[in-house]
Amino acid sequence: MVTKTATVYDVAERAGVSIATVSRVLRSPDAVRPSTRERVLDAVIALGYVPSGSARGLAERRTGVLGLYFPGFDAAEEAPPLDVLAAVADAPPFTVVRDAGQADAGHPPMLFLDEVLRGAELEAWKQGFVLMVGVGRDDPDRSTVRDMAGRVDGLVVLAGSVPDAVLDRLARRVPVVVLSGAARGDRHDHVSVSNAEAMAEVARLVVAQCAGRAPAYLDGPMDSPDGAERREGFLRAMSDLGIPTDDLMMMRGDFTRASGRRAAEELLDRGLPPAVVSANDQMALGMLEVLQAAGVKVPDDLLLTGFDGIDATTSCRPPLTTVRQPMIELGRAAVQVLARRLERSDDEPVHVRLPLEIVVRESSSPVR
């Protein structure tokens, strides 16, 4: 026998109140008199009433879902092919591995976007939303983010992952918060960090350790807003210190370990500079692997720094000097700003800049 599902009308009739009162009790219980609230809640329990999210969404023209869109480049090239069904078909229930420090080599430490995602998920839950994540790798026509815009109440988009023209069109449908990268006169809300200022200070610290000699710079991809700000900060520091641009060794990477390894091979061919300032940790860690394998001692032969503050910077040897980003807080702040925009759509755009922390470790501090 099929049992009839209780509706809000059933609860209202049993409690002797209007359906509007039932809705207020369920959404803002403190706004209702205690005696009325108790009657409504007793009716909810007795009838086993569960509010319909889809019906509520239709009434409010809300989905209760926020979107987070990013390109998904971190370590993707290092992920091996995997056929899960084939892999487990004849596999034993467990294996025993003697850990020689490499048992988890296939599981990279938590990276920048993973941490941002954790923060966004946490804040979405606290704000009463579900988070939908879209990864736009190999998505040249941006169909993923356009599809997401039709399914969510608002979008958090990593700066540079969507062309400005597409972003402006999306913002006509749903509120958009741009994560990372400075505001450029647009009408979107922005959440970012002080990339240029922190990188400039790192560069000054490195030059001071190198007795004024010019370090090399391992740059990120040209289309990265964060990369552009960090490059700007490095070059500004060199200019302030009187180091000519022509004296700088500028190398190009793409924020992956693989590109850091390629840059290290280039250094070994061209000759070592006194230091390398890297635009992110992943590239610095890739470089460290190749340099150490070639017998280069960090920091005695070459100083090395990164940027982001991922977990792996503390476990490598030597530990890596880096700029620690508030990664979880970035995700949380982006969702907070988006939730605020949904409630206050006419407010002027906001630009939230979170502080950074320069963490000086052994990779940039040789023992004299």
pLDDT tens digits, 244-255: 988 899 999 999
Q: Note whether 143 and 288 are same-domain residues.
A: no
List the CATH number of the domain containing 227.
3.40.50.2300
- Per-residue pLDDT band for 265 (boundaries 50, 70, 90) equals very high
In a domain, residue 305? The reply is yes
Containing structural domain, residue 155: 65-78+108-193+327-355
Mean pLDDT across 207-235: 94
Closest CA to 211 of 182, 241, 247: 241
Of 75-84, 199-208, 289-298, the range with the lowest mean pLDDT is 75-84
- Dihedral over Cα of 199, 201, 202, 207: its sign: positive
- Per-residue pLDDT band for 8 (boundaries 50, 70, 90) equals confident
In a domain, residue 7? The reply is no
More confident residue, 68 or 4: 68
d(CA 284, CA 251): 12
d(CA 205, CA 226): 21
Q: How many residues does the chain have?
A: 368
Average pLDDT over the chain, rounded to an integer: 85
- The per-residue pLDDT for 3 is 56
- Dihedral over Cα of 31, 36, 38, 42: its sign: negative
- The per-residue pLDDT for 139 is 60
Q: Note whether 151 and 222 are same-domain residues.
A: no
- Dihedral over Cα of 270, 272, 276, 280: its sign: positive
Per-residue pLDDT tens over the stretch 114-167: 899 999 999 998 888 899 998 876 565 567 788 888 889 999 998 888 888 888
Q: Note whether 70 and 181 are same-domain residues.
A: yes
In a domain, residue 302? The reply is yes
Q: Note whether 186 and 290 are same-domain residues.
A: no
- The per-residue pLDDT for 1 is 41
Residue type present at position 219: D
- The per-residue pLDDT for 202 is 97
Q: Note whether 277 and 310 are same-domain residues.
A: yes
Mean pLDDT across 281-299: 97
* HEC-encoded secondary structure of the chain: CCCCCCCHHHHHHHHCCCHHHHHHHHHCHHHCCHHHHHHHHHHHHHHCCCCCHHHHHHHHCCCCEEEEEECCCCCHHHCCCCCHHHHHHCCCCCCCCCCCCCCCCCCCCCCHHHHHHHHHHHHHHHHCCEEEEEECCCCCCCHHHHHHHCCCCEEEEECCCCCHHHHHHHHCCCCEEEECCCCCCCCCEEEEECHHHHHHHHHHHHHHHCCCCCCEEEECCCCCHHHHHHHHHHHHHHHHCCCCHHHCCEEECCCCHHHHHHHHHHHHHHCCCCEEEECCHHHHHHHHHHHHHCCCCCCCCCEEECCECCCHHHHCCCCCEEEECCHHHHHHHHHHHHHHHHHCCCCCCCEEEECCEEECCHHHCCCC
Q: Note whether 210 and 241 are same-domain residues.
A: yes
More confident residue, 82 or 103: 82
Q: Note whether 310 and 349 are same-domain residues.
A: no
Start-to-end CA distance of the chain, whole Å, equals 83
Beta-carbon count within 10 A of 64 CB: 15
- The per-residue pLDDT for 363 is 97
Mean pLDDT across 104-123: 73
The answer to whether the beta carbons of residues 339 and 156 sit under 8 Å apart is no
Beta-carbon count within 10 A of 5 CB: 11
d(CA 295, CA 290): 9
Residue 343 has pLDDT above 60, yes or no: yes
In a domain, residue 54? The reply is no
Q: Note whether 200 and 232 are same-domain residues.
A: yes
In a domain, residue 130? The reply is yes
* pTM, to two decimals: 0.74
Beta-carbon count within 10 A of 322 CB: 28
- The per-residue pLDDT for 72 is 60
- The per-residue pLDDT for 279 is 97
- The per-residue pLDDT for 193 is 94
In a domain, residue 19? The reply is no
Residue 322 has pLDDT above 90, yes or no: yes
Q: Note whether 254 and 163 are same-domain residues.
A: no
In a domain, residue 221? The reply is yes
Mean pLDDT across 277-290: 97
Residue 104 has pLDDT above 50, yes or no: no
| Domain count along the chain | 2
Q: Note whether 343 and 237 are same-domain residues.
A: no
Q: Note whether 268 and 340 are same-domain residues.
A: no
In a domain, residue 5? The reply is no
- By DSSP bridging, strand 322-324 and strand 357-359 are antiparallel
Q: Note whether 71 and 158 are same-domain residues.
A: yes
